[in-house]
Amino acid sequence: MGFHIVLAVFLIRLSCKYTEAQQAFLSIDCGGCKNFTDANVISWFSDNSISGIAGNASKVTPPAYVGNSPSPLSCIRFFPGGQSKYCYMFDLNHYGLTQGKAFLIRASFWAGSHLPYPTRFKNSVSFKFVINADEWEEVSIEFPQTGKEVNKEMYLITSRDNIEVCLSGSSNDSDIPFISSLVLRELADDLLPISLTISLSAGRPLTTVKRTNFGVYTEAFVGAGDIRYSSNITCPSFIFLTSV
């Protein structure tokens, strides 16, 4: 079952709000071999420490803006097996997730010049991203990647005591999926995207279609690791989503 757009795009220009994370503040380096702290003093831990994670790890050359700093964009995890999907599970026992809480989920994808496996079409990869059995979005990337990684972002209010973040497997008529990093942040209910989804869409998820940096006069990029919560310098445009 997939998501369908049910409301027009919102552009939030002046009222983006900084908020402290409550309990779940997770930064996962997918395919990384060790834990580290990045240049923004954010602690990343390798998904090697998560039980039940399948797939293979591979090192990649990170985007130029990263420089010599440690980054989750220095490696990927890919899933060449025959399963229909591969999932990261966040639950009450391990991460303190409870029903009715608001979260930001951000997934990042960067493989650089090419992938370490063949794809259906030369110089491109395509697969679906799924949350709680509902299709979030299709990830389509052309190679070589230049400039910055692909980011997918969603604001979600939990309907149960866990969140299941999955990539579709190649058995689902897609390429072998990969991922670079996965971020989970618990958010306050009065944060603007959360109050919008509560008041206007009965708690249906919001997906970010674009982030615009209003704090500079150039097209300077704010990397995924720089946005710790939903910061006061980058304001996202949204669409409401619902499952059928």
Mean pLDDT calculated for residue range 175-193: 88
Q: Which residue has the higher pLDDT, 54 or 167?
A: 167
> Could you write out the DSSP letters of every residue in 130-178?
EETTEEEEEEEEESS--SS-EEEEEEEE-SSSEEEEEEE-GGGTSPPPE
In a 3-state reduction of DSSP, which class is residue 49?
helix
Is residue 239 predicted with pLDDT exceeding 80?
Answer: no
If DSSP codes are grouped into helix, strand and coil, which group holds residue 53?
A: coil
Average pLDDT over residues 149-158: 88
Distance CA 236, CA 244 (A): 25
Residues of the domain holding 8: 3-243
**Is 212's pLDDT higher than 90?**
no
For the four alpha carbons of 184, 73, 141 and 210, in that order, the dihedral sign comes to positive
pTM: 0.79
Quickly count: other Cβ atoms within 10 Å of residue 70's Cβ: 18
CATH number of domain containing 164: 2.60.120.260
CA neighbor of 101 nearest in space, from 153, 159, 18, 17: 159
Residues 187-203, mean pLDDT to the nearest whole number = 75
Q: How confident is the model at residue 1 (pLDDT cuts 50, 70, 90)?
A: very low
| CA 137 to centroid of chain Cα atoms | 11
Domain count, the chain: 1
Amino acid at residue number 49: S
State the number of CA atoms in the 13 A half-sphere of 156 facing the CB: 28
Q: Distance between CA atoms of 144 and 127, rounded to whole angstroms?
A: 17
Amino acid at position 3, single letter: F
